[in-house]
Structure 1
Amino acid sequence: MSRPRLTVLAGPTAVGKGTVAAWIREHHPEVWLSVSATTRRPRPGEVDGVHYHFISGEEFADMVRRGEMLEWAVVHGRASYGTPRRPVEEALEQGMLPLLEIDLQGARQVRTSMPEARFVFLEPPSWQELEHRLEGRGTETEEERAVRLETAKVELAARDEFDVVIVNDDIRRAAEELVSWMGSH
């Protein structure tokens, strides 16, 4: 059996990447989900080490300096996010089916550092639905939502950089399509 390849899931803000990944975590134990590190504060219900590794800006900068991040970026001009390299490499060595759920900047860095990875773009069924989801989260101020929507316009324009596009019109359906695609490619 050939060694599995890393699958990268990206898409615009509020498209539901985290929700799809959480559904996969709950229903597909054969998929190993990477846990990103971030300098942002936890949202309600998020658990350190499960949803993200919540770390200080200084600790994040040290990891970047030591080359311990597979990818990293400052997102929405605010917080830093990154993927610790070692757990991904260990998952691949152990023959697991690894999935990274990251932003567009990070996906582009992974394409450079790990070109054999596969790239999946998660898109909303419509722009109006994306706006509705972002507003419905209730986790950002009006100003933050405006910044995220501007970022989303740029992110949506990058869909052609990906190997496959999955529309997130239903969480379960989108998650199952992603897992099925991972297993067949």
Structure 2
Amino acid sequence: MSKAIARRGIMLVLSSPSGAGKTTIASRLLEDPGIELSISHTTRPKRKGEKDGKDYHFVDRETFTRLRDQDAFLEWAVVFDNYYGTTRKPVEEALAAGRDVLFDVDWQGARKLRESAKDDVVAVFILPPSAAALEQRLRTRAEDSDDVVKRRMRGASNEIQHWEEYDYVVVNTDIDQSVASVRAILAAERLRRTRLSGLKGFVQTLLATL
């Protein structure tokens, strides 16, 4: 495909129950050129190693509520008693410039992004290979107490029930294969005719020179 053909960016949405691998897949995708992470605002506390402005914009509830009331978010949701939201302006600027934006959100966020920008969204759901594997991954992270692990396992059932709302589903049995699958999805969606805003002019020029 000619580099001269302008393209509108994609909102690539990744969702999964906690521990199924979407954060690892997202970090691998962000090694590729042309895609950037949508950095959400959240009211939850920082985890060890996280940085404000890189992993999330960590804010208090008063600040989050003010932004919400100003219609600054494309989507927002409450997850495990904490607020998460995606600010509108930087996403719209990236898409217009032909850059892809990656979203690591739950099913609520994915649904609201579709409502806000249906034609721009490509949604991928990541499934664990089994319930036992999911629980093992949660325990291996060694970040959460037994009570939190049990709570997340209960939450996984609710999250997984929404798998049919997504365009694609990847079962994360092998992380390298899962990353390759999502990269293939992204590559195909970048070639979708309706996203190539410069294609009509390119074809007209091509026809004129035949």
TM-score normalised by length of structure 2:
0.82
- Structure-1 residue corresponding to 2:14: 9
- Structure-1 residue corresponding to 2:156: 152
Deviation sequence 1:9-46 (CA, Å, 0-9, x none): 11111112212111222x21221211111111111111
Instruction: Flag the 1:172–1:51 CA change in 2: closer, same or farther, 3 A.
Output: farther
1:4 shift after superposition: 2.6
Kindly indicate whether residue 116 of structure 2 is the aligned counterpart of residue 113 of structure 1.
Answer: yes
- Structure-1 residue corresponding to 2:106: 103
- Structure-2 residue corresponding to 1:123: 127
- Structure-1 residue corresponding to 2:90: 87
Stretches of structure 2 lacking an aligned partner (at least 5 in a row): 1-5, 190-210
Bigger shift: residues 62-71 or 162-171:
162-171
C-alpha contact 1:23 1:172 (8 A) present in aligned 2: no
Stretches of structure 1 lacking an aligned partner (at least 5 in a row): none
1:54 shift after superposition: 1.0
Kindly indicate whether residue 177 of structure 2 is the aligned counterpart of residue 183 of structure 1.
Answer: no
C-alpha contact 2:127 2:172 (8 A) present in aligned 1: yes
Distance 1:106 1:29 in 2: 25
Distance 2:57 2:181 in 1: 27
- Of the candidates 18, 41, 44, which is equivalent to residue 23 of structure 2? 18
- Structure-2 residue corresponding to 1:138: 142
C-alpha contact 2:9 2:94 (8 A) present in aligned 1: no
Higher radius of gyration, 1 or 2: 2
1:71 shift after superposition: 0.9
Instruction: Flag the 1:92–1:179 CA change in 2: closer, same or farther, 3 A.
Output: same
C-alpha contact 1:69 1:84 (8 A) present in aligned 2: yes
Bigger shift: residues 103-112 or 141-150:
141-150
Q: Which amino acid aligns with 2:162?
A: A
- Structure-2 residue corresponding to 1:70: 74
RMSD: 1.4
- Of the candidates 36, 57, 69, which is equivalent to residue 40 of structure 2? 36
Distance 1:170 1:49 in 2: 30
Q: Which amino acid aligns with 2:109?
A: G
